[in-house]
A and B are shown apart, each in its own frame.
Chain A
Amino acid sequence: MNDFTNLTNVQKDVLREIGNIGAGNAATSMAKLLNKKIDMQVPSVKVVSFDEVMELIGGPDELIAAVFFRIQGEAPGTVYFILSIEEAEFLVNEIVPGNKGNLLGETANDFAISALQEAGNILTGSYLSALSDFTSINMQPSVPYLSIDMAGAILTVGLLELSQVSDYAIIIDTKINEQEEQKGVQGNFLLIPDPASLTKLFHALGITEYD
């Protein structure tokens, strides 16, 4: 599996479904966590250059809060849950009402960061377990890591493994957001499978041939 830049429509549909299942489960977890209705968008599957990966999130300079983990096992890859700083602070405030803690800078509040880390763990964990159940592939997540920094710096980590093989990445991007409020939490899940994992994922879901 070397050339994944020309995915067929069926293959893209399968990857979209993977994003759907994962984010759907995560949206349910988030709804329970916040006791609010959560919507999700139809996932998009894109084959993009590394620079374009950053542009998906608003450019390499953009400050983001991201929970990230590596998937080990049969189908290695990387999962990110990404929020803007305002959304992350909003999310923390929803979980811990009254906490006005900053996430950035010298005045960063440890409690707020810890709450965000925990929310991220829950959401990415449910994303991954749905994925693993759906594909019957054994996926072992690393410990989740939280980082609040520039998008370029954070996202490069997920591209390293892949960058030894290719100059492009497949990104399965799903947005979830609060239904009612204008200014609610809106998060992006990014699943970046390692190139070698694609065959595994396709096989697991019944696509055996590349056409």
Chain B
Amino acid sequence: MIEVNSIVKVGIADLNIVTAPGVIRTSGLGSCVGVVIYDDVKRIAGLSHVLLPDSNLAKQAELNAYKYADTAIPILVNKLIDEGARKYALKAKLAGGAQMFHFTSNSDIMRIGPRNSEAVLAILQDLRIPVIAADTGGNVGRTIEFNPETSKLKIKKASKEEQLI
């Protein structure tokens, strides 16, 4: 393994940016979606930990824009461009969007995992950012780590081998 110089950690409903040789990580994704957007030549990547699909759901006076797919992803893209990434070169990888419990009630909030994935894909399409790889759905938690050096996303699930996409 290459020596890892620094790990940038991203919390829930947060986002951040890393340049090689650092890596960026978020832990314990369940229904949340971890969206990595990167420029593989400039070796810069951003990660957003999306909690909810749509900021129209908010019943909050002060909107936390990092929480929703439709607001967080454009912010992440702008930050990447500010840091020298090229808009046309951006690509995305994502993971998460699981349904942790199989609810009998058909409450929409309980289908939040798939809805998060759908929302993220729709916004990436709007922004014309191609999705290179994705590991979404299922009913398992994921911890993900992206290395801008290799453009690989490492996914760790409970009691399973790590995989790279």
The interface of chain A, by Cβ under 8 A from chain B, is 2, 50-51, 54, 59-61, 63, 68, 104-105, 142-143, 145, 147-157, 160-161, 163-167
Contacts and interface: CB of A to CB of B under 8 A. Distances in A.
A141 to B, nearest CB: 12
Question: Which secondary structure dominates where chain A touches chain B?
Answer: mixed
A167 B64 contact: yes
Interface stretch (B37-45, B51-59, B86-94, B123-131): B51-59
Contact of B104 (A2, A143, A164): A143
B100 interface: yes
Contact of B67 (A104, A145, A149, A163): A163
B5 interface: no
Which range holds the interface residue count of chain B? Answer: 35 or more
Interface string B68-85: 000000000000000000
Contact of B100 (A59, A61, A157, A161): A157
Contacts, number: 104
B61 interface: yes
B121 interface: no
A147 B100 contact: yes
Nearest to A104: B159
B46 interface: no
B120 interface: no
